[in-house]
């Protein structure tokens, strides 16, 4: 058995940013247009008038201040409210592969490795741009990597589940060096016309290079991983390849985008995650007090504050549980890896930390790492 280690991470951040104020201005313009267009039905009680959103609410409810997106103009156009992307020919790289490539190259550079030294690519994300061939195989080709590649989707937990899959294969010796990459174009699945959730997501791509510890001079040894799932409909998206077969399948249906029961998610996922982390640490023989850092899924500040308190048994000190969600919003599976990438350099050899993601499924994945 070999010991797996994280030796590099990389983040691709789209250049375009939408602040809360910009988002709310466009949403409110959409609401005004909708209400004007449906004035007669609203007056007759047949249609419910839409309410304005507010930047104050967004910041207070989520902690989010802005988000990066692949196409700002399409999202902010009140007549459209979703990204507008150019059609690419089948001979050009897809947009997910292109974002992934940038993040992978940064992760490889950090570890001083080349693409042709990689023999496994897992593209782990909440949505795939097409059904097949796998996005991961396209990334493998663009990197000049060998071995094999495959896609996997466990929604917001995709990164940690991908890390567990790669780490297990490195332990067993079936692969030597793996890239787990998380290109998340969440602006494509978000319903920007829904006041309850229009502010929660952003776009990004992250990559994590995992190798045998014996091959690397420094990095983070993967001490252990733990994944769990429990079926729930409280975060759901019904879009899929059978869409056109259903009677109104191609209609502009709300359930073809991300939907959630935010309050229920809060109530059900938090205890699940806290119990999961405690059991994982217990099983690994790690005292929660000895964790120097928690890199948590980046969905909501209140959620992270709660989990930090539950895991550590006290209020986390500043810097112990860094958030990046104020700048990126919820980037689905990529959030905990952005936090790890930004806030792990200062740890000393022997320091312990925990990467944890959670979300739709429900799903929760955690990775205990030790700096060397
Ligand atoms: N602007 C202004 N007011 C808004 C609003 C908006 N954009 N959206 C909702 N409100 C109002 C609601 O109408 C409600 O008003 P009421 O009390 O008069 O009924 C009030 O604000 C509270 O709404 P609620 O939906 O209960 O807010 P919340 O405090 O639960 O926060 C979320 C909403 C989405 C931020 C929160 O539920 C959450 O983060 N949940 C978990 C998200 C998560 O992790 N999802 C995983 C995704 S992978």
Å from CA of 274 to ligand 1 middle: 22
Report the alpha-carbon distance of residue 142 to residue 147 in Å, rounded: 13
Provide the pLDDT for residue 186: 98
Mean of pLDDT over the chain: 97
Which of 52, 59, 60, 61 is the pocket-test mutation for ligand 1 (most atoms within 8 Å of CB)?
Answer: 61
> Looking at residue 36, what is its pLDDT?
98
Structure confidence at residue 330 (pLDDT): 98
Q: Taking a C-beta distance cutoff of 8 angstroms, is the pair 9, 209 a contact?
A: yes
Confidence band (pLDDT; 50, 70, 90) for 89?
very high
pLDDT score at 318: 83
Given a contact cutoff of 8 angstroms between Cβ atoms, the answer to whether 295 and 322 are in contact is yes
N- to C-terminal Cα distance for the chain? 19
**Tokens 């000190």 sit on residue:** 317
Distance, C-alpha 341 to centroid of its chain: 14
Q: What is the pLDDT of residues 312-333, one digit of tens each?
A: 999 999 899 999 999 999 999 9
Cβ atoms of residues 205 and 100 within 8 Å: yes
Q: How many CB atoms lie within 10 A of CB 87?
A: 5
How remote is the CA of residue 305 from the centroid of ligand 1, in Å? 17
The pLDDT of residue 356 is above 90: yes
Give the number of C-alpha atoms closer than 13 A to the C-alpha of residue 361, restricted to the C-beta side: 24
Write the CB contacts of 40 (distance below 8 Å, at least 6 apart in sequence). none
Torsion over CA of 296, 301, 304 and 310, rounded to 10 degrees?
Answer: 170
Give the Å distance between the CA of 176 and the centre of ligand 1.
Answer: 45
């Amino acid at each position: 058995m070999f010991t797996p280690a994280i030796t590099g991470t990389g983040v691709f951040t789209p250049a375009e940013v939408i602040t809360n104020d910009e988002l709310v201005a466009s949403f409110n313009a959409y609401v005004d247009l909708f209400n004007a267009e449906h004035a007669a039905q609203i007056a007759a009680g047949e249609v419910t008038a839409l309410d304005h959103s507010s930047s104050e609410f967004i910041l207070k409810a989520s902690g989010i201040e802005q988000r990066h997106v692949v196409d700002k103009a399409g999202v902010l156009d009140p007549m459209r409210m979703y990204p507008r992307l150019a059609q690419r020919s089948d001979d050009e790289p897809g947009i997910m592969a292109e974002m992934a490539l940038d993040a992978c190259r940064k992760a490889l550079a950090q570890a001083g490795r080349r693409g042709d030294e990689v023999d496994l690519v897992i593209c782990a994300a909440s949505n795939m741009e097409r059904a097949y061939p796998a996005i991961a195989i396209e990334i493998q080709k663009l990197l000049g990597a060998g071995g094999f590649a495959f896609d996997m989707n466990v929604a917001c937990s995709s990164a940690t589940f991908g890390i567990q899959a790669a780490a297990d294969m490195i332990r067993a010796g079936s692969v030597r060096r793996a890239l787990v990459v998380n290109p998340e174009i969440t602006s494509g699945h978000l319903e920007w016309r829904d006041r309850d959730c229009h502010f929660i997501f952003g776009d990004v791509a992250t990559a994590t290079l995992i190798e045998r510890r014996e091959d690397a001079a420094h990095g983070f040894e993967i001490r252990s991983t733990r994944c769990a799932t429990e079926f729930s409909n409280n975060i759901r998206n019904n879009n899929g390849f059978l869409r056109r077969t259903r009677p109104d399948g191609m209609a502009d249906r709300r359930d073809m985008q991300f939907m959630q029961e935010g309050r229920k998610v809060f109530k059900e996922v938090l205890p699940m995650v806290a119990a999961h982390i405690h059991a994982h640490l217990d099983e690994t023989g790690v005292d929660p007090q000895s964790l120097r850092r928690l890199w948590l899924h980046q969905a909501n500040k209140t959620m992270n504050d709660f989990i930090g308190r539950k895991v550590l048994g006290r209020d986390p000190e500043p810097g112990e549980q860094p958030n990046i969600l104020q700048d990126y919003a919820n980037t689905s599976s990529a959030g905990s890896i952005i936090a790890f990438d930004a806030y792990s350099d200062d740890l000393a050899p022997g320091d312990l930390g925990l990467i944890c993601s959670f979300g739709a499924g429900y799903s929760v994945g955690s990775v205990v790492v030790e700096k060397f």
